[in-house]
Structure 1
Protein backbone atom coordinates (compact mmCIF):
# COMPACT_ATOMS: atom_id res chain seq x y z
CA UNK A 1 0.00 0.00 0.00
CA UNK A 2 1.19 3.51 -0.74
CA UNK A 3 0.28 7.04 -1.72
CA UNK A 4 1.64 6.36 -5.21
CA UNK A 5 4.22 9.08 -4.59
CA UNK A 6 5.92 8.60 -7.95
CA UNK A 7 2.72 8.02 -9.92
CA UNK A 8 1.20 10.34 -12.45
CA UNK A 9 -2.25 11.89 -12.33
CA UNK A 10 -5.13 10.53 -14.36
CA UNK A 11 -4.60 11.48 -18.03
CA UNK A 12 -7.82 13.54 -18.12
CA UNK A 13 -6.26 15.91 -15.60
CA UNK A 14 -3.41 16.75 -17.95
CA UNK A 15 -5.74 18.73 -20.22
CA UNK A 16 -6.25 21.44 -17.61
CA UNK A 17 -3.81 23.63 -15.73
CA UNK A 18 -3.89 26.65 -13.47
CA UNK A 19 -5.89 27.52 -10.41
CA UNK A 20 -9.66 27.34 -10.61
CA UNK A 21 -12.13 29.23 -8.44
CA UNK A 22 -14.31 26.14 -8.37
CA UNK A 23 -14.58 23.89 -5.33
CA UNK A 24 -13.01 20.43 -5.70
CA UNK A 25 -16.20 18.52 -6.59
CA UNK A 26 -17.09 21.06 -9.29
CA UNK A 27 -13.83 20.88 -11.25
CA UNK A 28 -14.49 19.80 -14.86
CA UNK A 29 -11.97 16.96 -14.62
CA UNK A 30 -13.72 15.60 -11.51
CA UNK A 31 -17.05 15.70 -13.34
CA UNK A 32 -15.53 13.93 -16.36
CA UNK A 33 -14.07 11.21 -14.16
CA UNK A 34 -17.39 10.75 -12.36
CA UNK A 35 -18.98 9.91 -15.72
CA UNK A 36 -16.32 7.19 -16.07
CA UNK A 37 -17.23 5.65 -12.69
CA UNK A 38 -14.78 7.44 -10.39
CA UNK A 39 -15.96 9.09 -7.18
CA UNK A 40 -14.13 11.66 -5.05
CA UNK A 41 -12.62 10.08 -1.95
CA UNK A 42 -14.53 11.08 1.18
CA UNK A 43 -13.24 14.21 2.87
CA UNK A 44 -14.18 13.15 6.40
CA UNK A 45 -11.11 12.80 8.61
CA UNK A 46 -12.13 9.28 9.62
CA UNK A 47 -11.50 8.17 6.04
CA UNK A 48 -8.20 10.04 5.53
CA UNK A 49 -6.32 6.75 5.12
CA UNK A 50 -8.65 5.37 2.44
CA UNK A 51 -6.66 6.19 -0.74
CA UNK A 52 -3.59 4.63 0.89
CA UNK A 53 -5.26 1.23 1.33
CA UNK A 54 -7.58 1.31 -1.69
CA UNK A 55 -6.56 -1.15 -4.42
CA UNK A 56 -4.24 0.75 -6.80
CA UNK A 57 -6.17 -0.32 -9.91
CA UNK A 58 -9.32 1.28 -8.47
CA UNK A 59 -7.83 4.62 -7.40
CA UNK A 60 -6.46 7.64 -9.19
CA UNK A 61 -5.67 11.26 -8.44
CA UNK A 62 -5.64 14.62 -10.13
CA UNK A 63 -3.84 17.82 -9.20
CA UNK A 64 -5.93 19.95 -6.85
CA UNK A 65 -6.56 23.12 -8.83
CA UNK A 66 -9.57 24.04 -6.70
CA UNK A 67 -10.14 26.89 -4.31
CA UNK A 68 -11.26 26.20 -0.77
CA UNK A 69 -13.54 28.98 0.42
CA UNK A 70 -14.17 30.55 3.79
CA UNK A 71 -17.66 31.95 4.18
CA UNK A 72 -18.40 34.56 6.82
CA UNK A 73 -21.98 35.45 7.59
CA UNK A 74 -23.07 38.57 9.47
CA UNK A 75 -26.26 38.53 11.50
CA UNK A 76 -28.31 41.32 13.04
CA UNK A 77 -29.68 41.22 16.59
CA UNK A 78 -32.66 39.17 15.43
CA UNK A 79 -30.62 36.45 13.76
CA UNK A 80 -31.29 37.67 10.24
CA UNK A 81 -28.47 37.49 7.74
CA UNK A 82 -27.21 40.95 6.90
CA UNK A 83 -24.20 40.03 4.84
CA UNK A 84 -22.14 37.18 3.44
CA UNK A 85 -18.50 37.34 2.41
CA UNK A 86 -16.59 34.62 0.62
CA UNK A 87 -12.83 34.54 0.42
CA UNK A 88 -10.31 31.86 -0.47
CA UNK A 89 -8.90 30.12 2.58
CA UNK A 90 -5.37 31.35 3.24
CA UNK A 91 -2.52 28.90 2.75
CA UNK A 92 -1.88 28.85 6.50
CA UNK A 93 -5.43 27.56 7.10
CA UNK A 94 -5.02 24.93 4.37
CA UNK A 95 -1.69 23.89 5.90
CA UNK A 96 -3.43 23.55 9.26
CA UNK A 97 -6.01 21.22 7.77
CA UNK A 98 -3.28 19.15 6.11
CA UNK A 99 -1.38 19.08 9.41
CA UNK A 100 -4.42 17.69 11.24
CA UNK A 101 -4.72 14.95 8.61
CA UNK A 102 -1.00 14.18 8.80
CA UNK A 103 -1.20 13.88 12.60
CA UNK A 104 -4.13 11.49 12.27
CA UNK A 105 -2.31 9.38 9.69
CA UNK A 106 0.87 9.30 11.79
CA UNK A 107 -1.14 7.94 14.73
CA UNK A 108 -2.13 5.06 12.41
CA UNK A 109 1.49 4.49 11.41
CA UNK A 110 1.01 5.94 7.90
CA UNK A 111 3.11 8.56 6.12
CA UNK A 112 1.60 11.98 5.28
CA UNK A 113 -0.46 12.30 2.12
CA UNK A 114 1.22 13.97 -0.83
CA UNK A 115 0.07 17.58 -1.05
CA UNK A 116 -2.00 19.00 -3.86
CA UNK A 117 -3.93 15.88 -4.87
CA UNK A 118 -7.60 15.10 -5.18
CA UNK A 119 -8.15 11.36 -4.87
CA UNK A 120 -10.83 9.51 -6.80
CA UNK A 121 -11.87 5.92 -6.15
CA UNK A 122 -13.91 3.33 -7.99
CA UNK A 123 -16.23 1.05 -6.02
CA UNK A 124 -14.84 -2.46 -5.52
CA UNK A 125 -16.55 -5.82 -5.23
CA UNK A 126 -20.28 -6.05 -5.83
CA UNK A 127 -20.94 -2.53 -4.59
CA UNK A 128 -22.27 0.07 -7.04
CA UNK A 129 -21.12 3.16 -5.12
CA UNK A 130 -18.36 4.31 -2.84
CA UNK A 131 -20.94 4.96 -0.11
CA UNK A 132 -22.00 1.31 -0.31
CA UNK A 133 -18.37 0.16 0.08
CA UNK A 134 -17.91 2.41 3.12
CA UNK A 135 -21.15 1.14 4.68
CA UNK A 136 -19.89 -2.42 4.08
CA UNK A 137 -16.58 -1.62 5.82
CA UNK A 138 -18.44 -0.20 8.84
CA UNK A 139 -20.81 -3.18 8.99
CA UNK A 140 -17.95 -5.67 8.64
CA UNK A 141 -16.05 -3.97 11.44
CA UNK A 142 -19.06 -4.03 13.74
CA UNK A 143 -19.74 -7.71 12.93
CA UNK A 144 -16.14 -8.55 13.84
CA UNK A 145 -16.16 -6.52 17.05
CA UNK A 146 -13.94 -3.73 15.72
CA UNK A 147 -14.96 -0.15 16.32
CA UNK A 148 -15.26 1.65 12.95
CA UNK A 149 -13.05 4.73 13.02
CA UNK A 150 -9.49 5.89 13.25
CA UNK A 151 -7.66 2.97 14.79
CA UNK A 152 -4.94 0.58 13.65
CA UNK A 153 -7.46 -2.27 13.98
CA UNK A 154 -9.98 -0.63 11.66
CA UNK A 155 -7.21 0.33 9.23
CA UNK A 156 -6.04 -3.31 9.05
CA UNK A 157 -9.60 -4.55 8.63
CA UNK A 158 -10.30 -2.00 5.85
CA UNK A 159 -7.07 -2.90 4.04
CA UNK A 160 -7.79 -6.63 4.13
CA UNK A 161 -11.46 -6.26 3.19
CA UNK A 162 -10.76 -3.89 0.28
CA UNK A 163 -8.10 -6.26 -1.06
CA UNK A 164 -10.53 -9.20 -0.82
CA UNK A 165 -13.32 -7.23 -2.49
CA UNK A 166 -11.05 -6.17 -5.33
CA UNK A 167 -9.91 -9.75 -5.97
CA UNK A 168 -13.50 -11.02 -6.34
Structure 2
Protein backbone atom coordinates (compact mmCIF):
# COMPACT_ATOMS: atom_id res chain seq x y z
CA UNK A 1 0.00 0.00 0.00
CA UNK A 2 1.31 3.43 -0.87
CA UNK A 3 1.17 6.43 1.42
CA UNK A 4 -2.37 7.85 1.51
CA UNK A 5 -2.74 11.25 -0.08
CA UNK A 6 -4.87 13.43 2.18
CA UNK A 7 -4.32 16.45 -0.07
CA UNK A 8 -2.91 18.54 2.75
CA UNK A 9 -1.87 21.24 0.31
CA UNK A 10 -5.18 21.24 -1.58
CA UNK A 11 -7.16 24.45 -1.04
CA UNK A 12 -10.71 24.43 0.24
CA UNK A 13 -13.25 24.15 -2.57
CA UNK A 14 -15.77 26.84 -3.34
CA UNK A 15 -18.78 25.99 -5.43
CA UNK A 16 -20.79 28.72 -7.09
CA UNK A 17 -24.18 28.73 -5.42
CA UNK A 18 -25.86 30.17 -8.50
CA UNK A 19 -27.25 27.09 -10.31
CA UNK A 20 -27.55 28.87 -13.64
CA UNK A 21 -23.79 29.43 -13.85
CA UNK A 22 -21.97 26.30 -15.05
CA UNK A 23 -18.72 25.35 -13.32
CA UNK A 24 -17.29 21.89 -14.07
CA UNK A 25 -15.15 21.74 -10.93
CA UNK A 26 -14.67 23.54 -7.65
CA UNK A 27 -12.52 26.62 -7.63
CA UNK A 28 -10.24 27.92 -4.94
CA UNK A 29 -11.99 29.77 -2.16
CA UNK A 30 -11.10 33.41 -2.64
CA UNK A 31 -13.89 35.37 -0.93
CA UNK A 32 -13.45 35.91 2.80
CA UNK A 33 -17.06 35.00 3.44
CA UNK A 34 -18.17 31.98 1.43
CA UNK A 35 -21.74 30.72 1.27
CA UNK A 36 -22.91 28.60 4.17
CA UNK A 37 -21.74 25.00 4.34
CA UNK A 38 -25.23 23.75 3.47
CA UNK A 39 -25.41 25.98 0.40
CA UNK A 40 -21.92 24.89 -0.65
CA UNK A 41 -22.85 21.21 -0.32
CA UNK A 42 -25.97 21.76 -2.39
CA UNK A 43 -23.97 23.59 -5.06
CA UNK A 44 -21.40 20.76 -5.02
CA UNK A 45 -24.17 18.28 -5.81
CA UNK A 46 -24.92 20.15 -9.02
CA UNK A 47 -21.32 19.40 -10.04
CA UNK A 48 -21.60 15.70 -9.21
CA UNK A 49 -20.01 15.84 -5.76
CA UNK A 50 -21.63 14.19 -2.76
CA UNK A 51 -20.59 13.97 0.88
CA UNK A 52 -18.08 11.21 1.53
CA UNK A 53 -19.43 8.43 3.72
CA UNK A 54 -18.66 8.95 7.40
CA UNK A 55 -19.03 5.31 8.44
CA UNK A 56 -15.90 3.73 9.94
CA UNK A 57 -15.57 1.28 7.03
CA UNK A 58 -14.82 4.12 4.63
CA UNK A 59 -12.86 6.47 6.94
CA UNK A 60 -9.78 6.25 4.70
CA UNK A 61 -11.62 6.90 1.43
CA UNK A 62 -10.65 10.55 0.74
CA UNK A 63 -6.97 9.58 1.00
CA UNK A 64 -7.20 7.03 -1.83
CA UNK A 65 -9.82 8.76 -3.99
CA UNK A 66 -8.53 10.34 -7.24
CA UNK A 67 -7.62 14.00 -6.63
CA UNK A 68 -9.64 15.23 -9.61
CA UNK A 69 -12.77 13.73 -8.09
CA UNK A 70 -12.54 14.92 -4.50
CA UNK A 71 -12.91 18.26 -2.77
CA UNK A 72 -13.32 19.49 0.77
CA UNK A 73 -15.10 22.21 2.66
CA UNK A 74 -14.17 23.53 6.08
CA UNK A 75 -16.55 22.18 8.69
CA UNK A 76 -16.17 22.98 12.38
CA UNK A 77 -18.28 19.93 13.26
CA UNK A 78 -15.85 17.65 11.43
CA UNK A 79 -13.36 17.91 14.31
CA UNK A 80 -15.69 15.78 16.43
CA UNK A 81 -15.78 13.08 13.74
CA UNK A 82 -12.05 13.36 13.17
CA UNK A 83 -11.28 12.41 16.77
CA UNK A 84 -13.07 9.09 16.46
CA UNK A 85 -11.48 8.27 13.13
CA UNK A 86 -7.89 8.89 14.26
CA UNK A 87 -7.75 5.66 16.27
CA UNK A 88 -9.16 3.62 13.38
CA UNK A 89 -6.61 5.04 10.96
CA UNK A 90 -3.76 4.49 13.43
CA UNK A 91 -4.87 0.87 13.82
CA UNK A 92 -4.53 0.48 10.06
CA UNK A 93 -1.09 2.08 10.07
CA UNK A 94 -2.42 5.15 8.24
CA UNK A 95 -1.81 8.79 9.05
CA UNK A 96 -4.70 10.93 10.15
CA UNK A 97 -6.07 13.35 7.59
CA UNK A 98 -6.20 17.11 8.06
CA UNK A 99 -8.74 18.11 10.73
CA UNK A 100 -11.97 20.00 10.12
CA UNK A 101 -12.68 18.88 6.57
CA UNK A 102 -16.02 17.77 5.19
CA UNK A 103 -14.98 15.63 2.23
CA UNK A 104 -16.90 15.58 -1.04
CA UNK A 105 -16.45 12.87 -3.65
CA UNK A 106 -17.48 12.52 -7.26
CA UNK A 107 -17.48 9.22 -9.09
CA UNK A 108 -14.67 8.90 -11.64
CA UNK A 109 -17.25 7.13 -13.80
CA UNK A 110 -19.84 9.69 -14.96
CA UNK A 111 -22.69 7.19 -15.15
CA UNK A 112 -22.21 5.78 -11.62
CA UNK A 113 -22.85 7.27 -8.22
CA UNK A 114 -20.27 7.12 -5.47
CA UNK A 115 -22.59 4.80 -3.54
CA UNK A 116 -22.84 2.38 -6.48
CA UNK A 117 -19.07 2.42 -6.91
CA UNK A 118 -18.53 1.72 -3.19
CA UNK A 119 -21.06 -1.11 -3.28
CA UNK A 120 -19.13 -2.67 -6.16
CA UNK A 121 -15.77 -2.21 -4.39
CA UNK A 122 -17.16 -3.88 -1.27
CA UNK A 123 -18.68 -6.78 -3.26
CA UNK A 124 -15.43 -7.31 -5.19
CA UNK A 125 -13.59 -7.43 -1.85
CA UNK A 126 -15.97 -10.06 -0.44
CA UNK A 127 -15.95 -12.06 -3.70
CA UNK A 128 -12.14 -12.14 -3.52
CA UNK A 129 -12.37 -13.74 -0.07
CA UNK A 130 -11.91 -10.58 1.99
CA UNK A 131 -13.26 -10.39 5.51
CA UNK A 132 -16.35 -8.28 6.24
CA UNK A 133 -14.46 -5.70 8.30
CA UNK A 134 -12.13 -2.76 7.96
CA UNK A 135 -8.52 -3.87 7.54
CA UNK A 136 -5.25 -2.72 6.00
CA UNK A 137 -5.80 -5.31 3.27
CA UNK A 138 -9.20 -3.80 2.45
CA UNK A 139 -7.67 -0.31 2.25
CA UNK A 140 -5.00 -1.63 -0.13
CA UNK A 141 -7.68 -3.35 -2.23
CA UNK A 142 -9.71 -0.14 -2.58
CA UNK A 143 -6.62 1.94 -3.27
CA UNK A 144 -5.49 -0.43 -6.03
CA UNK A 145 -8.91 -0.40 -7.70
CA UNK A 146 -9.30 3.38 -7.40
CA UNK A 147 -5.97 3.90 -9.15
CA UNK A 148 -7.40 2.11 -12.17
CA UNK A 149 -10.61 4.19 -12.26
Deviates more, 1:131-140 or 1:4-13: 4-13
| Distance 1:34-1:16 versus aligned 2 partners, 3 A rule | farther
CA contact (8 A) 1:5 1:114 kept: yes
Task: Give the TM-score of the pair, scaled to structure 1.
Answer: 0.70
After superposing on structure 2, the runs of 4+ consecutive aligned residues of structure 1 that deviate more than 4 Å are: none
- Tell me whether 1:158 sits opposite 2:142 in the alignment: yes
Aligned residues: 133
Cα distance per residue 1:9-48 (max 9 Å; x no partner) = 113273574896xxx6xx1000001011001100111110
Structure number, greater radius of gyration: 1
Residues 52-131 of structure 1 mapped to structure 2, 5 A cutoff? 52-64=63-75, 94=80, 97-125=81-109, 128-131=112-115
- The runs of 5 or more residues in structure 1 that have no matched partner are 69-90
**RMSD across aligned C-alpha pairs, in angstroms?**
2.4
- The runs of 5 or more residues in structure 2 that have no matched partner are 16-27
Structure having the higher strand fraction is 1
CA contact (8 A) 2:106 2:114 kept: yes
CA contact (8 A) 1:3 1:51 kept: yes
